């Protein structure tokens, strides 16, 4: 028996998951009650269904007394639903657990034991990511941008299921992002993080469309990376090279009737001036947009009011 108070947070995202609820609660409660001195199960109902007695009416009263049900007024993004559960969690450790692992409640104990080795965040790491070619390419591009345009350490095979220590959770809850991508926030909080490999693959959420995943990726890219600002810089540099090439070509045609590729052109009155003028304006506009992007990026980060640092511990030597 581990002398700890543990909170378990589970999000009910789709109506079909209610059918799994009774078996899920029975299994996880048996594992928690056998291994921890105190527990609570926080269910976040992120659907429009309110009467859940149809599915858990015959559940053991000893299990029900540990359950807290949070009914959200309307369905929201899964990341926001997870936050609602984390806000309510009171345990020394909080576990976010998915229905996918109903048959493996022992993972909760493994997560806790791994956390007690000096880790504050421990997640389940999939053996592989299964998705179609379109989603596979999309994920590769997304994680490439995350790796190269941010300081975040996000495992592309990380499940949502993980355990979080009390101090890490307190720091995480200080980051009140309106547009949330939880895996990025876990990484931003820091603290010692490790993974437990599991055979279950990481699969696309069956109820989440490609457009929804694309919107989530845009939130992550715009909120946690400098990719768009870097992209505007490259657009400006390319436009500058284009300006130089066009000006050289226009002047060469005017005085020699041959372009830089050696093709003959008859010079027309006013053509050189017009081409040079348009090219200069194009490069100037690209430069102005890049400068504006820097100011907007700075304002954006100031408005978010993220903490400048997070103290992990204080030692007296």
- Whole-angstrom Cα distance, residue 182 to residue 68? 22
Q: Are strands 67-71 and 121-125 parallel, antiparallel or unpaired?
A: unpaired
Q: Which of 203, 224, 245 is the last residue of a domain?
A: 224
Count the domains in the chain: 2
What are the φ and ψ backbone dihedral angles of 294, each rounded to 5 degrees? -65, -45
pTM: predicted TM-score of the whole model, two decimal places: 0.76
Q: Which candidate, 213, 167, 168, 212, places its Cα nearest to that of 187?
A: 168
Asked if 288 and 168 count as a contact pair (C-beta separation under 8 A), the reply is: no
Q: What is the pLDDT along the chain (317 residues), one digit of tens a residue?
A: 788 899 999 998 888 888 888 889 989 998 998 899 889 999 888 888 878 887 877 888 888 888 888 888 888 888 888 888 898 889 899 999 998 888 898 999 999 999 988 899 999 998 888 777 777 888 888 888 888 888 888 888 889 899 999 999 998 888 877 667 888 888 888 889 999 999 988 877 766 677 777 777 877 877 778 887 788 888 888 888 888 887 888 777 777 877 777 777 676 676 667 777 777 777 778 777 777 777 776 676 666 665 544 444 444 44
Specify whether 58 is located in the same domain as 122. Answer: yes
259: in domain:
yes
Q: What are phi and psi of 69, to 5 degrees?
A: -105, 125
Q: Does 145 share its domain with 161? A: yes
Write down which residue in 201, 224, 247 finishes a domain: 224
């Amino acid at each position: 028996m581990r002398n700890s108070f543990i909170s378990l947070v589970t999000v009910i995202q789709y109506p079909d998951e209610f059918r799994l609820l009774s078996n899920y609660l029975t299994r996880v409660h048996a594992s928690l009650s056998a291994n921890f001195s105190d527990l609570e199960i926080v269910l976040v109902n992120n659907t429009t269904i309110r009467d859940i007695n149809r599915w858990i009416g015959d559940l053991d009263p000893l299990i029900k007394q540990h359950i807290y049900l949070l009914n959200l007024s309307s369905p929201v993004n899964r990341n926001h639903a997870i936050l609602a559960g984390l806000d309510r969690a009171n345990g020394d450790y909080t576990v976010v657990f998915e229905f996918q692992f109903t048959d493996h409640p022992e993972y909760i104990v493994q997560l806790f034991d791994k956390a007690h080795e000096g880790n504050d965040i421990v997640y389940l790491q999939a053996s592989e990511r299964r998705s179609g070619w379109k989603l596979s390419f999309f994920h590769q591009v997304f994680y490439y941008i995350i790796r190269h345009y941010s300081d975040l350490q996000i495992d592309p095979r990380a499940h949502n299921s993980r355990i979080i220590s009390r101090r890490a959770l307190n720091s995480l809850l200080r980051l009140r992002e309106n547009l949330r991508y939880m895996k990025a926030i876990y990484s931003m909080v820091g603290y010692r993080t490790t993974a437990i490999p599991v055979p279950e693959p990481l699969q696309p959420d069956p109820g989440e469309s490609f457009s929804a995943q694309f919107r989530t990726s845009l939130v992550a890219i715009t909120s946690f990376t400098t990719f768009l600002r870097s992209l505007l810089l490259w657009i400006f540099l390319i436009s500058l090279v284009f300006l130089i090439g066009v000006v050289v070509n226009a002047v060469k045609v005017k005085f020699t009737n041959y372009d830089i590729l050696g093709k003959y052109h008859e010079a027309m009155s006013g053509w050189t001036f017009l081409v040079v003028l348009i090219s200069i304006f194009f490069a100037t506009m690209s430069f102005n947009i890049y400068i504006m992007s820097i100011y907007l990026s700075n304002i954006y980060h100031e408005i978010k009011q993220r903490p400048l640092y997070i103290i992990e511990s204080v030692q007296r030597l």
